[in-house]
Amino acid sequence: MLRKLHENFKKIFGEESRESFFATARTCRLSEERVIENTEAYGTYAAARARNDGMISVSMGENKWTLPLDNLDKEVDLEFIASVVEAYKSCGYSIKKGLDIVYQLDVPNEEGYSAIGSLKYATAQAFNRIEGFQADTLKIFRMAS
């Protein structure tokens, strides 16, 4: 899965990705009424690299977007990224660099599973590493919630 992720990144952006991230489906807000087994096997994979222009380029499946970080709320499909950026800002961090990121989802399309939680967590990890914030895992998780 990681090899394919990095191959896709190179195909889309023309260079190797610098970082890769994984967020399990377990980080999603799953149904409290039942336990879903083996959720650690499912999740979101992301490959990313820094930009220096305050822009974000996103590739997810057949969809691709490039827009300024401060205009993310204009794109409904990228609200999950906008919420992570806003969470970092509310914690006193300033996201300046921008990001090229490719997502590959391996989350079943059935009751109890949601890709949004793992998308947000993978995104929060990417910004933390790319921007050099050094926030701990719990803080990253809270920003992705």
CATH of the domain at 61: 3.30.230.10
Closest CA to 19 of 7, 6, 10: 6
Name residue, tokens 């490959």: 47
pLDDT in tens, 74-109: 788 899 999 999 999 999 999 999 999 999 988 766
Residue 145 pLDDT grade (very low, low, confident, very high; cuts 50, 70, 90): confident
Residue with tokens 């990417």: 126
Residue-range definition of the domain harbouring residue 45: 2-144
Quick one: tokens of 95?
């996201």
Query: Can you give the pTM of this predicted structure?
Result: 0.85
**What is the reported pLDDT for 30?**
47
Total domain count, the chain: 1
